[in-house]
Chains A and B, each alone.
Chain A
């Protein structure tokens, strides 16, 4: 079967920030297979193209949704979609967060910018079963307060610790200022008994993973989500290569133990 998009209707559209929108979808006909948190879809903007976008909500908990930041032709087109519009989606693709590996342990989830989107269904999954984990920590960083996604929802979460920080404050901002890793000092976790999940820009992923490991979190207990150029998502176009890894197949979620040596090579 050629990977052909499946029509989905936009059933709600929520602007998150000046450039980011969350779209909820319902299949027009045949539904896609269930997505797992961390997986992604190829989403088509009619006449513009197709881009990889993680699921910010999965069918199992609240229905399929994508949170898209407008950065170019295709993401612009998606952000401009209206309720009732039909958008082509294909998937699910890629690996998912391995939440089961965190059972019985402390959980540290660190999100930078739009990296919050793929972590959201993971957080909801963990919060739905609080007894399965020790302490759940959510650490969120954004450029400015206006770039924070789903602030009200984040504030409502019953975690052991939720921290939010921004790089550049705005006049009414009373929260933390600085890089997201500085929140680790306040998070409640016993490093050796912790599983961590990290998504954001690559420099933020590196810094966070490094710091978690310095704290004593085992290498293979830090899962990160990688981003590379992707044209097909089916392992055939070659664009998503990171050395031996085809990120669309063996990723986007990989163990830091696996990712670290690859990301250490310049321009790999």
Chain B
């Protein structure tokens, strides 16, 4: 898609009008909002629900909301959910089957009227995570049709990062804090003595049409420069980083590392990291029958490679130890994902660090593996 319009500026009213226009189109608008002590993603009926004036404080195993003086709406980093909760939901019915009195069985594909989503405030890391799930779920020989249906109807409005969290490391995964292509509109929030406003860049025809419907003005140099400077500033304030080495090779040569035993002593194999990760896609299936026994449904739900049953075969799991399950997760993210899907499986959002109950930090584990590989080759 080509950018079809010059950058523009929206003010608070313009943002209100943007949400109203999307709602009027019949779209389900999903964006960040404060609920239960966290910034969650939920349906928004107006821009008022955005987390104006909220930021977050993050550390390994820690997430806390904090007040912000500047009233910014998008100055919080990734929360516990990601857009996969909507595009690749935790539970989904795949198909159902009915056994008729004559013994015939009729299978029915699931073709629900999925909502037509508009995602507001997609972080650059999450934009990349969506592109990664696109490759996994729709880029192979077979397509996950439910995902494909929801995804092709979804409109993406990115919000570039001006305030990275202490657990963020998108830059060292090759992305952020500016938005890569793939968005319909990209917002950069600016709050200064000239007011609270959003620089808007257009990424698609649909984005351009949407922008036409809301009050906006042409971008002025001050807003453009300030926006660019705050995104550039964010690049230099990343809380963490992955070591600048070929991770595919490092992981591939670290399968026997001692570090896996060390992390296995700390890891609870709870699977939180896989649930919050915006790229983790693994699922399992369940059969659900009604009381008559003649109607059965096939459901898909998120699964985790940390679950013992995940690799179940011949009377037991292939990956029995915590060591092998953490190794599966980390090597898949950073190494075998490349072999399977041609990209890394990590975008550096930091969620797995913040939401790990014991504070296991992917960047620290990779650094330790690197150090171990260096002492071996010495």
User: How far is the CB of B40 from the nearest CB of chain A, in Å?
Assistant: 26
Say yes or no for B204: interface residue by CB 8 A criterion: no
User: How far is the CB of B134 from the nearest CB of chain A, in Å?
Assistant: 12
Say yes or no for A3: interface residue by CB 8 A criterion: yes
Q: Encode B129-152 as 1/0 by CB contact (under 8 A) with A.
A: 000000011001111111000000
Of A45-53, A96-104, A130-138, which binds chain B? A45-53
Distance A33 CA – B328 CA, assembled complex (angstroms):
34
Q: How many of A's residues come within 8 Å of B, CB to CB?
A: 41
Q: Encode A41-80 as 1/0 by CB contact (under 8 A) with B.
A: 0001011111000000000000000000000000000000
Of A12-20, A190-198, A209-217, A241-249, which binds chain B? A241-249
Say yes or no for A265: interface residue by CB 8 A criterion: yes
Q: Encode A85-102 as 1/0 by CB contact (under 8 A) with B.
A: 111100000000000000
Say yes or no for B261: interface residue by CB 8 A criterion: no
Q: Which residues of A contact B110 (CB under 8 A)?
A: 2
Q: Which residues of B contact A228 (CB under 8 A)?
A: 311, 313, 318
Asked whether A236 lies within 8 Å of B311 as measured between CB atoms, the reply is no
Partner of A249, one of B141, B145, B255: B141
Distance A212 CA – B286 CA, assembled complex (angstroms):
41
Main secondary structure of the interface of B (DSSP, over half): mixed
Distance A267 CA – B256 CA, assembled complex (angstroms):
11
Chain A contacts with B in 137-194, Cβ cutoff 8 A: none
Assess A3 versus B281: contact at CB under 8 Å? Given A227-B313, A238-B305, A267-B319: no
Q: Encode B116-139 as 1/0 by CB contact (under 8 A) with A.
A: 000000000000000000001100
Say yes or no for A4: interface residue by CB 8 A criterion: yes
Say yes or no for B84: interface residue by CB 8 A criterion: no
Asked whether A244 lies within 8 Å of B340 as measured between CB atoms, the reply is yes
Say yes or no for B76: interface residue by CB 8 A criterion: no
Of B141, B293, B332, B336, most A-chain CB atoms within 10 Å = B336
Distance A142 CA – B141 CA, assembled complex (angstroms):
36
Say yes or no for A206: interface residue by CB 8 A criterion: no
Say yes or no for A125: interface residue by CB 8 A criterion: no
Assess A236 versus B136: contact at CB under 8 Å? Given A4-B109, A7-B107, A267-B319: yes
Assess A236 versus B105: contact at CB under 8 Å? Given A2-B95, A49-B285: no
Partner of A265, one of B255, B310, B311: B255
Distance A267 CA – B261 CA, assembled complex (angstroms):
13
Partner of A7, one of B106, B283, B284: B106
User: How far is the CB of B92 from the nearest CB of chain A, in Å?
Assistant: 10
Distance A232 CA – B137 CA, assembled complex (angstroms):
12
Chain B contacts with A in 76-117, Cβ cutoff 8 A: 94-95, 97, 99, 103-110
Chain B contacts with A in 273-304, Cβ cutoff 8 A: 281-287, 289, 293, 296, 298, 300, 303
Asked whether B255 lies within 8 Å of A237 as measured between CB atoms, the reply is no
Partner of B293, one of A3, A44, A47, A84: A47
Q: How large is the interface on B (under 10, 10 to 19, 20 to 34, 35 or more residues)?
A: 35 or more
**How many inter-chain residue pairs (CB < 8 Å) link A and B?**
126
Asked whether B103 lies within 8 Å of A86 as measured between CB atoms, the reply is yes
Q: Which residues of B contact A49 (CB under 8 A)?
A: 285-287
Asked whether A267 lies within 8 Å of B103 as measured between CB atoms, the reply is no
Partner of B339, one of A46, A85, A244: A244
Say yes or no for A219: interface residue by CB 8 A criterion: no
Partner of B144, one of A48, A87, A236, A243: A236
Assess A241 versus B336: contact at CB under 8 Å? Given A46-B99, A48-B287, A229-B311: yes
Distance A44 CA – B296 CA, assembled complex (angstroms):
11
Of A1, A48, A266, most B-chain CB atoms within 10 Å = A266
Instruction: Return the chain A residue nearest B102 by Cβ.
Output: A86
Say yes or no for A6: interface residue by CB 8 A criterion: yes
Q: Which residues of B contact A27 (CB under 8 A)?
A: none
Q: Which residues of B contact A86 (CB under 8 A)?
A: 99, 103-105
Say yes or no for B249: interface residue by CB 8 A criterion: no
Distance A44 CA – B289 CA, assembled complex (angstroms):
13
Instruction: Return the chain A residue nearest B95 by Cβ.
Output: A4
Say yes or no for A218: interface residue by CB 8 A criterion: no
Chain B contacts with A in 238-258, Cβ cutoff 8 A: 255-256
Distance A228 CA – B319 CA, assembled complex (angstroms):
11
Instruction: Return the chain B residue nearest A28 by Cβ.
Output: B104
Asked whether A88 lies within 8 Å of B289 as measured between CB atoms, the reply is no
Query: Apart from A28-B104, A88-B105, what 5 extra A-B contacts exist at CB < 8 Å?
Result: A84-B103, A231-B284, A234-B144, A235-B140, A241-B328
List, sorted by A's number, 30 A–B pairs whose CB atoms are closer than 8 Å.
A1-B143, A2-B144, A2-B146, A3-B142, A4-B95, A6-B107, A46-B97, A46-B99, A47-B289, A48-B287, A49-B285, A85-B103, A86-B103, A228-B313, A228-B318, A229-B318, A231-B283, A234-B141, A234-B144, A237-B283, A237-B285, A237-B303, A238-B303, A239-B310, A241-B328, A241-B336, A243-B339, A244-B339, A246-B340, A267-B320
Q: Please give the residue numbers on chain B whose beta carbons come within 8 Å of chain A beta carbons, in ascending order.
A: 94-95, 97, 99, 103-110, 136-137, 140-146, 255-256, 281-287, 289, 293, 296, 298, 300, 303, 305, 310-314, 318-321, 323-324, 328, 331-332, 335-336, 339-340
